[in-house]
Amino acid sequence: MTDVAWLSYSLQDFLMFGPQVFLRLFIRLNQDFWPWQLLVVPLTLAVPWMMCRPTHAWRRLAVWLVAAAWIGSGAGFLVRYFGEINWPAVWFGWAFVAQGLLIAVLAICCHSEAIPKGRAGVFTGLWLTGVVALPWVTVLQSGELGAMAVFGLTPDVTLAASSLVLAMMPRVWLWPLLPIPLVWVLFSAATYWALQLVWFLLLPAATLILFALGCWLSPSLARSQDPQSGHRGPVRR
């Protein structure tokens, strides 16, 4: 097909499924996965507490939970459910699994720093916004409580909340973790726009906002802004 012919396509022309079918995926996932949500949700709520501990082992456990969430939402929602009706979702699913494994390995290799005490409350508030408020977007859109998007089971809420934790990673490790989230944000925003799922557009928007706030909260940035910090950057010799 010529390049000119491609220009005649609209976003809607690439949609293979309707909004009703997409929203049903959340309901089916929650039905099939029940009652594991009872384990997933408390673990999710414990992440801010772990991230603020001075002991590195707790923070590593928190990052591993985030890694598991990526693997769960990739292999579960994206590959097994969304992939049935939209083949690119399968690729994204395996990309999410790869991202989860990468995060898990990085949690071993690099030691993230504890969130400064002054900012722990903000981090907790933002995390709870991600894992408690954002799941209601799917409920608002579908009108079904059973469609709630749970962290660790569905990709957008997982990505939005975990972007806070990713932002805590040392900058050098952060770059390889960015491509998949960025491509997913673009893909999901385009999909929701084409499906005219207006509430769903909050999810990619929230991901970008939470990531920006996460960067602002990250210990390295906090330290560089702290005039009392002993860290003065590399010494010129």
Partner 1 sequence: MRLTRRQLVIGAGISGFALASPGLFAELAGGTAAVPILRTVPSSGESVPAIGMGTWITFNVGNDPYLIESRTEVLKTFFDRGGSVVDCSPMYGSSADVLGKALNALQAHDQVFAATKIWTADESATRTQAESSHNRWGVARFDLLQVHNLLGWRGHLETLKEMKADGEIRYLGITTSHGRRHDEFARIMETEPLDFVQLTYNVLDREAESVLMPLARERGIAVIVNRPFQGGALFRRVQSEPLPPWAAVAGIGSWAEFFLKFVIAHPAVTCAIPATSQVAHMQENMAAMYGELPSESQRQRMAAFVRSL
Rounded Cα–Cα distance for residues 9 and 20 (Å): 23
If one asks whether residue 5 binds partner 1 (CB under 8 A), the answer comes out as: yes
Distance of CA 223 to the CA centre of its chain: 25
Could you tell me which stretch among 16-24, 67-75, 197-205, 220-228 binds partner 1 (CB under 8 A)? 16-24
Q: From residue 122, how far is each of 113, 125, 161, 214, 216 by CA, in Å?
A: 16, 5, 13, 10, 11
Nearer residue to partner 1 within complex by CB, 20 or 228: 20
Burial tier of 65 (Cβ tally within 10 Å: 0-12, 13-18, 19+): buried
Instruction: Kindly determine how many residues on this chain lie close enough to bind partner 1 according to the rule CB under 8 A.
Output: 20
Nearer residue to partner 1 within complex by CB, 14 or 216: 14
**CB of 188 vs partner 1, minimal distance in Å:** 18
If one asks whether residue 17 binds partner 1 (CB under 8 A), the answer comes out as: yes
Rounded Cα–Cα distance for residues 77 and 27 (Å): 11
**CB of 98 vs partner 1, minimal distance in Å:** 24
Rounded Cα–Cα distance for residues 91 and 64 (Å): 22
Could you tell me which stretch among 80-88, 94-102, 114-122, 197-205 binds partner 1 (CB under 8 A)? 80-88
If one asks whether residue 86 binds partner 1 (CB under 8 A), the answer comes out as: yes
Nearer residue to partner 1 within complex by CB, 12 or 224: 12
Nearest CA among 137, 133, 112 for reference residue 52 = 112
DSSP β-bridge partners for residue 151 = 154
Rounded Cα–Cα distance for residues 155 and 189 (Å): 13
If one asks whether residue 15 binds partner 1 (CB under 8 A), the answer comes out as: yes
Sign of the C-alpha dihedral, residues 163, 179, 100, 196? positive
Rounded Cα–Cα distance for residues 207 and 164 (Å): 9
Which one among 26, 70, 81, 184 touches partner 1, defined by CB under 8 A?
81
Q: State the Rg of the chain over Cα.
A: 19
**Contact letters (x/-) for partner 1, 27-66, by CB under 8 A?**
-x--------------------------------------
Which one among 11, 12, 55, 224 touches partner 1, defined by CB under 8 A?
12
If one asks whether residue 138 binds partner 1 (CB under 8 A), the answer comes out as: no
Nearer residue to partner 1 within complex by CB, 64 or 187: 187
**CB of 234 vs partner 1, minimal distance in Å:** 54
Q: Of all helices (H) and strands (E), which one includes residue 57?
A: helix 56-72
**CB of 115 vs partner 1, minimal distance in Å:** 41
Give the residues lining the site for partner 1 (CB under 8 A): 1, 5, 8-9, 12-13, 15-18, 20-21, 24-25, 28, 81, 84-87
